[in-house]
Amino acid sequence: MFLRIALLFVVLEMVQSFQDPMFGINIPNMINSEFNFHSLIVLLGGIFIIYTATKEILHMMSVPNLEHEARKPGSTVKVIFLIVAMNLVFSFDSILSAMALSDVYWIMATAIVIGGALMIWLSDRVATFLEKNRMYEVLGLFILLVVGIMLLTEGGHLAHLKLFGDEIVPMSKTTFYFVITVLVLTDLVQTRYKKRLELLRRGEAV
């Protein structure tokens, strides 16, 4: 929360320099781009999130027994770094979105405080729910994967990136929410269907 408030102040002071072109990659008929600081942050954030989600999905598939997995505890520094890095990515994007809605610093800072308080208040409940319903961890990781893809398309659009003559188009918020809704509904139907199959098998066994 404090990181976002500090970042908000920095962004307001340096917003124009974030939009200024830094460098470009131009290979005829292959790739054309014009990167700025904003596009680089969003692109790197998307890559980082996709890597994190993919790594966790592969880990879940490779562990023989998830209930008794022996995962080595990560170092405190590494865990804090990962949290700060992911927070920084989401913070930067959300702050630029907030600036499109308002130019009053205290309004944006108040919204950040309220959002942070809600996340702190709900964190234990979400953690408890996931411990009881571990199947939803998969859903959460795939939602994170979609978020990473959305950031990649957004970053590519900000960099005016063209691959083989085709311009990268950002994923619209409508498309994003539609994909998330489909994922959630699919997971709910699959979970209920699985429970019904288990009840039928128990009935046949009896």
In a 3-state reduction of DSSP, which class is residue 73? coil
Structure tokens at 141: 């990781």
Which residue has tokens 């942070």? 116
Tens digits of residue pLDDT in 50-67: 888 888 888 877 766 555
pLDDT in tens, the chain (206 residues): 777 778 777 777 776 667 777 888 888 878 888 888 878 877 887 888 888 888 888 887 776 655 555 555 567 777 777 777 777 766 666 666 565 556 677 887 888 788 888 888 888 887 787 777 777 778 888 888 888 888 888 888 888 888 887 888 888 888 888 998 998 898 888 888 888 888 887 776 55
Sheet with 162-163: list strands edge to edge: 26-27, 31-32, 162-163, 166-167
Which residue has tokens 């692109």? 43
pLDDT of residue 103: 65
Model-wide pTM > 0.75: no
pLDDT of residue 31: 85
Distance CA 152, CA 158 (A): 10
The DSSP output letter for 200 is H
Residue 86, judged by CB atoms within 10 A of its CB (0-12, 13-18, 19+), counts as middle
Q: Which residues contact 162 (CB under 8 A, 6 or more apart)?
A: 31, 32, 33, 168
Torsion of Cα atoms, 182 then 188 then 194 then 195, to 10°? -170
User: What's the CA angle centered on 191, arms 187 and 195, to 5 degrees?
Assistant: 170
